């Protein structure tokens, strides 16, 4: 009997890379991060990947949505790394239909709010300014919408009356780090069904 193939993961990140670090350091992710790509040569995520001995590259992403020849170069790099699952971790580009079709149902994203509340940017600040008592983080499958795909897992984070944006952001980041590793592990190791947009773990 042959053992199942180890999942080969790519992480796409634009920023400092704290979620990437949490994924790289998770004890049992259920797969191996083989490449980290960024649209920003100065992204902290690239340095974190190299620190961990993982191939890391900045690729041109053109302007706005990732399309055209830039998109083709990203897809070619991912194919060359023989990746089967893509993890977005603070990736600030929108993927279009061609990219989604290359990895159907196999692109995950983490978002710092309890979706469908506060999609888009500055979600932590917007939740705090809105006066919510509970916010949180969501890991979801990526579809053609922005922060709209089926929810794989969520975790709640209380907003304290004396929270500053900094204190809330710090708590949100720790919650994200635990959630993303847990959700990726579940996605890679546990069967689930998808009915409409409802994910049920078996």
For residue 90, state whether it binds ligand GRF (rule: CB under 6 A): yes
154 Ramachandran zone, left/alpha/beta (phi>0; psi -120 to 50): beta
For residue 19, state whether it binds ligand GRF (rule: CB under 6 A): yes
* Site residues (CB under 6 A) for ligand GRF, limited to 69-88: none
For residue 38, state whether it binds ligand GRF (rule: CB under 6 A): no
Hey, is 134 helix, strand or coil?
strand
In angstroms, give the least distance from the CB of 19 to ligand GRF: 3
Do residues 10 and 83 touch, judged by C-beta distance below 8 A? yes
Number of H helices, E strands in the chain: 6, 9
**How far apart are the C-alpha atoms of 42 and 23, rounded to whole Å?**
20
In angstroms, give the least distance from the CB of 173 to ligand GRF: 6
Residues recognised as catalytic: 111
Please name which of 120, 103, 104 lies closest in space to residue 112, comparing C-alpha atoms: 120
Of the pair 18, 85, the CB lying nearest ligand GRF is at 18
For residue 149, state whether it binds ligand GRF (rule: CB under 6 A): no
For residue 112, state whether it binds ligand GRF (rule: CB under 6 A): yes
Q: Which of 7, 93, 106, 111 binds ligand GRF (CB under 6 A)?
A: 111
For residue 13, state whether it binds ligand GRF (rule: CB under 6 A): yes
Of the pair 42, 76, the CB lying nearest ligand GRF is at 42
DSSP string, 44-67: HHHHHHHHTT-EEEE----SSSB-
Query: Which residues form the interface with ligand GRF (CB under 6 A)?
Result: 13, 15-20, 89-90, 110-112, 176
């Amino acid at each position: 009997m042959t053992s199942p193939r180890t999942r080969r993961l790519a992480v796409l990140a634009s920023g400092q890379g704290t979620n990437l670090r949490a994924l790289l350091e998770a004890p049992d992710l259920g797969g191996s991060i083989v490449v980290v790509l960024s649209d920003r040569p100065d992204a902290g995520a690239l340095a974190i990947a190299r620190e961990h001995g993982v191939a890391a590259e900045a690729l041109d992403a053109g302007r706005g949505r990732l399309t055209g020849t830039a998109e083709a170069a990203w897809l070619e790099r991912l194919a060359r790394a023989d990746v089967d699952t893509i993890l977005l971790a603070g990736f600030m580009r929108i993927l279009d239909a061609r990219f989604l079709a290359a990895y159907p149902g196999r692109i995950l994203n983490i978002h710092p709010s309890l979706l469908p509340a506060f999609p888009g940017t500055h979600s932590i600040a917007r939740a705090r300014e809105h006066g919510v008592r509970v916010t949180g983080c969501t890991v979801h499958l990526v579809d053609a919408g922005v922060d709209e795909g089926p929810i794989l897992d969520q975790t709640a984070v209380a907003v304290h009356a004396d929270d500053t944006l900094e204190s809330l952001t710090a708590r949100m980041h720790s919650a994200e780090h635990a959630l993303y590793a847990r959700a990726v592990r579940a996605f890679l190791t546990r069967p689930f069904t998808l009915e409409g947009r409802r994910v049920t773990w078996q």
